[in-house]
Amino acid sequence: MSFENDVRHTLVESNRNTQQRKYERKRRKMRSSNKWQRTPFAKIMYYGHKRKPRGSDGTTIGALDRIFSTHGFPKTLVSDSGTQFTSVDFKEFCQQRSIEHIRIPPYHPQSNGQAEREREAYKKAIGEGTMGKVLQNFLLRQRSTPHSGIGKKFPAEVLMGRKLRTVHETMLPKKTRPDERRGNKKNILAVNAPVYARDYRLGHQWTAAITTKRHGSMIYYYCGG
């Protein structure tokens, strides 16, 4: 091969590699949809029902029915290509509920990598204690941790519209509410304070009383003064 041909061959190979890398960079990132519309099976089910279904489509359908009875039917269900997801019964199950079933390709790195990370985290958690306690702690941690695939939001927040209250929340400084900053603080009564209370046994009359205990933010126990 001449020097000129060698250079041409090198340039062609370099350009081909560049195009391949360019294609890799342009691959679309996994995007999240509105809450409870696109439901990854591994995330919602794999950990939420004690153990993964053992390949039976009947067991899988039963577990999904329990979830859907609480959250309703999603528009899209994403799973791998396991036999429980390729059966005729599972296909009919999705069709009857107008659920679009999408099976991720075996070599799709984004989807499979995400599922694999979930499994590894779960297996690691199992080794830290008893199954029941570890499972509940794991689920709470997963659902209350910001996730890059949903814009750094909490999975529970995306699904339910609110954040879960955890031990970490109790360690943060308490925020002052707007009405408290304006001076509209709640009237808190001390125990043994003289008050007037409405006695519904006496036809809604106001009677003198003494507070004995505070219950919640606005409820007090009292006895006759």
Q: Taking all residues of the chain, what is their mean pLDDT, rounded to a whole number?
A: 71
* Predicted pLDDT of residue 69: 83
Q: 225 pLDDT exceeds 80? A: no
Q: What is the mean pLDDT of the segment spanning 22-35? A: 51
More confident residue, 146 or 89: 89
Q: What percent of the chain has pLDDT over 90?
A: 5
Query: In the beta sheet, which residues pair with residue 223?
Result: 210
Q: 109 pLDDT exceeds 70? A: no
* Predicted pLDDT of residue 152: 82
The DSSP bridge pattern shows strands 194-199 and 205-215 to be: antiparallel
* Predicted pLDDT of residue 176: 63
Q: What is the mean pLDDT of the segment spanning 164-177? A: 72
* Predicted pLDDT of residue 49: 47
Q: 94 pLDDT exceeds 70? A: yes
Q: 63 pLDDT exceeds 70? A: yes
Q: What is the mean pLDDT of the segment spanning 212-216? A: 83
For the entire predicted model, the pTM comes to 0.46
* Predicted pLDDT of residue 188: 79
More confident residue, 10 or 83: 83
Q: 42 pLDDT exceeds 50? A: no
* Predicted pLDDT of residue 11: 47
Q: 209 pLDDT exceeds 70? A: yes
> 99-114: buried (b, 16+ CB within 10 Å) or exposed (e) per residue?
bebeebeeeeeebeeb
Phi, psi of 146 (to 5 degrees): -55, 140
